[in-house]
Amino acid sequence: MLPFEAEDAAKVLAAKVRTARIVRGWTQDELAQRCEISKRTITSLEAGSVSVQFGFVLKVLWAVDLIDDFIQQVKNVGLNDHEFALLEATLPMRVREKGRRA
């Protein structure tokens, strides 16, 4: 069970993806082919299902040109760059090095 806010976020994301797909004139099948995932996954994502694998969500956002907006919004979540840098500086060196490889 997810918090209501998380469910709302999934519904908002679902509506954005569906709208972006329709604006491009693509069917769910066409979007699925572009993302190399199943139509069932697209259907689930557009329904706001939280069972969709996150990597698939990112592929779909990329395919419908929403990935840049998503990245910008993710950057605004939580700590800003300065706060993050300060927090990272307090971590042991071995942890900081692992984080940079990703």
- Residue 66 CA to residue 45 CA, distance in Å, equals 14
Residue with tokens 């907006």: 69
Q: Are residues 59 and 16 in the same domain?
A: yes
Q: Are residues 52 and 84 in the same domain?
A: no
pTM: 0.64
Identify the domain containing residue 57 by its residue range.
1-65
- Residue 57 CA to residue 86 CA, distance in Å, equals 30
Q: Are residues 9 and 55 in the same domain?
A: yes
Does residue 63 surpass a pLDDT of 70? yes
Q: Are residues 51 and 75 in the same domain?
A: no
Residues 67-98: tens digit of each pLDDT:
888 888 877 766 677 776 777 777 777 655 54
How many CB atoms within 10 Å of residue 34? 17
Overall number of domains in the chain: 2
Q: Are residues 59 and 97 in the same domain?
A: no
